[in-house]
Amino acid sequence: MMLRKSVTRSFGAAISGLDRSHLTDGVISRSKRMMLDTLGVGLIGTRTNVYHKALRYSQSFASRDQSQVWGSAEKGLPAQYAAFVNGVAVHSMDFDDTWHPATHPSGAILPAVLALAQVLPQQPTGLDLLLAFNVGIEVQGRLLSFSREALNIPQRFHPPTVVGVMGSAAASAKLLGLTPVQCTHALAIAASFAGSPLANAATQTKPLHMGNAAGRGLEAARLAWMGLEGNPDVLDLESGFGVFFTEYNPSEMADVGGFKWALESQNVAVKLFPAHLGMHWVAEATLAAKAELGRGGESDGRLDDIRSVTLRVPPSKYIDCPYPATEHQARHSYQFNACSALLDDRVTVESFGDALRNRPALRELLSKVRVETPEDNHPSFDKMYCDVVIEMHCGKRFVGRCDTFYGHWRRPLSQEDLEGKFRANASTVLSSEGVEGIVDIVRNMEQATDSSMLRLHLQMTTFIPVKGKSGELQHGLHHGADAIKDLMERRVAHKSAGGDHFVFLVHVALSDALTHMRAAQLADGRSGIRSVWVSVQRKKPSQLTLV
């Protein structure tokens, strides 16, 4: 018999009890920044290889209720799979936010919240979304405080698969309006869906972790809503949520009366380039060292004269990768990020592409890198630093150091730079109208009476013109035949509820048999399609331009 109030039940009560009035200005502004960044990172992530595999897989499921896939004007997926693929998109390039203790908090929550919102009978307001989002973030923060082990860069389980799935369940439970008991069971069920080992970091399977956290958390909340039960003390037990930690001290969630958000006292870090957070210290320290080298009168050509590059970083096996063979490994390699920064004076999205990654100059430089792990350099995102020492053949040494990179919670991005990152990311997929619309909508989110506007803008894609039967066609039509069918059936699609934004999808030159066509046939070139143009425009059909 339990005499004390169980931790798990206190969480259920808090998730159910928190309401809009609890959201503070600080929390709202921080969480809006996280949302904007997550959307941008997710949009650019829809262009990755791993995303397309996850999407094709998810398209083998169908549902009466459809939730939207970000950056796509097509019909959607079942809510759970929309949350899954959008979560994969967010983490596909390791470009999403990082919190302390270490996890990527937003990627597990926002895809679940948006996917679920779409299938609710009544559209939540912007403030409802913010509340559910923050409940999901908060639960992750609380759970991470249950173990000192969580303070350090992880070694066993990838945190988003542990706390992220719980956060997604909590956020989904909030949005579904579950009772305290149902919220408790949602967490209990989610605990049975949690936990993926770290070894799959630096592979295509790592982004799946985020997709699964979002999708399975949502599923746990829906199962609880249907009446399915788990262990209502799951957070209290070593054999419950405690299995994911070597030491575990759960504590109750304060009653909603005296509630204080973890996000108020601990902000998140926002990445400037798509790689593991630890790489950001390395890149900045490398640039500092290179600046020293430049000041010493050495020109770029002198890179040939480098004898060695020493990186002093914290010990962490999975981000110490001397010769990365794939983009995923490159995103988890101290050495690669230092060399990229040295060669290009910056690390960007392009740094991880095949062309730059496989440069002989980079390979050559990689062979000169040594990694040292000083005792005072802790594998914790709150304490770590990076020293870079460039030693020349002549014996001269140039040193750079980074204690806090730009984007870290101690040195947050300006609003302008945050929006700049979003614009750069989102514009790879959306029209400028979609991009600016989202910036606006998120900026004023707490005032929005209908959150569906966000969804609408996430559909304002710019398609590239595609012709013939080449791989290009497959790329342009990567979402399969249903898209084409949609284009056929609805020359004008998606009118927003009362807004003045329209999305037009236009096709030309399609053969008659197309409605019965299958994607594979399209790709085979047997469809008789000569070419497809799709354009996105605003307001007046007469202004339509074909790209």
Which residues of this protein are in contact with another protein, per CB under 8 A?
50, 53-54, 56-57, 59-65, 78-80, 155-157, 161, 188-189, 191-205, 208-209, 212, 219, 222-223, 226-231, 233-234, 237-244, 315-318, 480-482, 518-521
Q: Is there a cis peptide before residue 314, judged by omega within 30 degrees of 0?
A: no
Q: Which is nearer to another protein, 32 or 222 (CB)?
A: 222
Measured at the alpha carbon of residue 252, what is the angle toward residues 246 and 255, in degrees to the nearest 5? 160
Which residue's structure tokens are 């009035």?
21
| Alpha carbons 400 and 294: distance in angstroms, whole number | 12
Q: CB burial class (10 A; 0-12, 13-18, 19+) of residue 449?
A: exposed
Q: Which residues, 6 or more positions from 4, have their beta carbon under 8 angstroms from its beta carbon?
A: none
Cβ distance to another protein smaller for residue 243 or 493: 243
**For tokens 């609890």, what's the residue?**
22
In the complex with another protein, the residue whose CB is nearer, 152 or 451, is 152
Rounded to 5 degrees, what are φ and ψ at 238? -60, -35
Q: Judging by DSSP bridges, how do beta strands 386-392 and 466-467 pair with one another?
A: unpaired
- Please identify, using beta-carbon distances, which residue of 131 and 198 lies nearer to another protein: 198
Pairing status of strand 369-372 against strand 306-312:
parallel
- The DSSP annotation for 176-238 comes to HT--HHHHHHHHHHHHTT---BGGGTTSTHHHHHHHHHHHHHHHHHHHHHTT----TTTTT-T
- In this complex, which beta carbon is closest to another protein, that of residue 230 or of residue 407? 230
Closest CB to another protein among 56 and 401? 56
5-32 b/e (C-beta count within 10 Å ≥ 16 → b)? ebbbbbbbbbbbbbeeebbeeebbebbb
Q: Provide, rounded to whole angstroms, the least separation between the CB of residue 61 and another protein.
A: 6
Nearer residue to another protein within complex by CB, 203 or 380: 203
**CB of residue 39 vs another protein: minimum separation in angstroms?**
25
Report the nearest approach of another protein to the CB of residue 463 (Å): 21
- Least Å distance between CB 278 and another protein? 14
Alpha helices in 324-414 (DSSP H): 327-330, 334-344, 354-357, 360-366
d(CA 360, CA 72): 37
Contact at 8 Å (CB) between 345 and 395? no
Please report how close the Cβ of residue 325 comes to another protein at its closest, in angstroms: 11
Residue 231 or 286 with smaller CB distance to another protein = 231
Measured from the CB atom, the residue of 72 and 462 that comes closer to another protein is 72
Q: How far is the CB of 283 from another protein (least distance, A)?
A: 23
Place of tokens 């989202």: 438
Residue (of 262, 218, 259, 361) closest to 20 by Cα position: 259
C-beta of residue 129 within 8 angstroms of C-beta of residue 117: yes
Residue 536 beta carbon to another protein: minimum distance, rounded to whole angstroms: 26
Taking the complex as a whole, how short is the minimal distance between the CB of residue 193 and another protein, in angstroms? Answer: 7
**Smallest gap from residue 290 Cβ to another protein (A):** 30
Judged by beta carbon, residue 380 or residue 404, the one nearer another protein is 380
- Report which residue type is found at 1: M
Q: How far is the CB of 227 from another protein (least distance, A)?
A: 6
Q: Residue 453: is it exposed, middle or buried by C-beta count within 10 angstroms (0-12/13-18/19+)?
A: buried
* Residue 243 vs 349, nearer CB to another protein: 243
CA dihedral 533, 62, 87, 45 (to 10 degrees): -20
For the bound state, the minimum distance from the C-beta of residue 216 to another protein, rounded and expressed in Å, comes to 9
Query: Distance (Å, rounded) from C-alpha 471 to C-alpha 451?
Result: 37
287 vs 330, beta carbon nearer another protein: 330
CB of 65 to another protein, least distance (A): 8
- Sign, CA dihedral 526-531-537-541, equals negative
CA distances from 194 to 212, 213, 233, 296 (A): 9, 7, 16, 52
